[in-house]
Structure 1
């Protein structure tokens, strides 16, 4: 039986996650450009040199934050989709509701604002976000919509348009949270964000459903 890891070893193993948590918090508070690497290191309780052992640049640190949050969630969604074979509409609503409610209620909801506000000055981040987040997410949702069409559950639609219709209001919800919402300005018409997400997906689903044989939509 191997000896338990020493406190020093456990501390070393914990450092990457602690650095990512510190980076996310500071990026949200100050913005990516205004955050200094030494501030991230100090908040995580390590030296700047230790930070660079794990993440050679601040850009790589932000990429790691994105991988640890949004990318991990997309991978879990893809795994769930591969395992389930129920009605496509039900799966679409459940998968997207669970994913977006989780994102909205977590620190990762700030990533959308970080990318949107910093991408012009850091195009490498934009390329990474497009390749690693937007494209896999688009394939996941688009593949689900295509499955519904192939099975006759959904009517024939422009899949790219449907994906954008699903995603963009959700992104805007997260942007609102970390812009107007962060300044204390709430939208009284929005109500409960989690309920808004469910209502939005229900609206999309009812627009997707194939009509009945008599030409009326399936309710």
Structure 2
């Protein structure tokens, strides 16, 4: 005789919820950690605070991440460094001009990182790197160096195609990075309390920076500026 079929089994439903909860925990912990790292900084964020915000115990947090440092690294990989493969693929398949590629890279960076909470990680690193050399080395290897290499590739492409003049690439990279760092620092420091009358629009700022990088401040006929001598003495 077949067993009656019940519309719902409380035990099975409870077990399924636990399984879904277990699978969700790493993502919830990373989201909670990002919130607190950006709000409070690395030093001031405690593991138990992250666990509480994610709705789990401190012991559960350490089942997934062995230390606060490992948790921070996972947050960086989830939100920033893990995206370099995606960005590299996009640039490899880009068919437009190099000026278009540079503009696309800067605008897509703002949309995917700059305007998100993850941009606060840059401010954290700027303020706390000296106190946490292991974290600083990790960030250098996983974010700064790959970022520099990506921008350098764009500039090299422009030079090779005759679209950009020959540049000191070691320093030209910083000309592209500096506006982005400014936007992130502004967003998470002074910009958070700037008066409403100060209308800082990041999309317009990026557009202006792209125009300055590609066209300079002077007109085309005035761009050949010679460097003044270091001294008037022979």
State the TM-score, normalizing by the size of structure 1.
0.87
Shift of 1:104: 2.1
Aligned mates of 2:136, 2:149 — CA distance in 1: 18
| Structure 1 unaligned blocks of 5 or more | none
The residue number in structure 2 matching 1:37 is 47
SS of match in other structure, 1:120:
helix
The residue number in structure 1 matching 2:206 is 197
Aligned mates of 1:193, 1:215 — CA distance in 2: 29
Contact 1:26 1:40 in 2 (8 A): yes
Between structure 1 and structure 2, the one with the greater Rg is 2
Shift of 1:216: 8.1
Aligned mates of 2:16, 2:214 — CA distance in 1: 53
| Structure 2 unaligned blocks of 5 or more | 1-14, 225-234
SS of match in other structure, 1:119:
helix
Contact 1:88 1:153 in 2 (8 A): yes
The residue number in structure 2 matching 1:133 is 143
Aligned mates of 2:152, 2:199 — CA distance in 1: 27
Contact 1:70 1:108 in 2 (8 A): yes
Choose the corresponding residue for 2:180, options 159, 170, 173: 170
Shift of 1:206: 2.3
Is the aligned partner of 1:69 residue 2:79? yes
Over the aligned positions, Cα root-mean-square deviation in angstroms equals: 2.3
Shift of 1:152: 0.8
Aligned mates of 1:77, 1:101 — CA distance in 2: 13
Aligned mates of 2:166, 2:108 — CA distance in 1: 26
Aligned mates of 1:132, 1:115 — CA distance in 2: 13
Choose the corresponding residue for 1:156, options 156, 166, 182: 166
Detail structure 1 runs of 4+ shifted over 3 Å in the superposition. Answer: 186-190, 214-217
Shift of 1:188: 5.4
Aligned mates of 1:188, 1:72 — CA distance in 2: 37
Shift of 1:186: 4.7
Alignment of 1:87-126 (within 5 A): 87-126=97-136
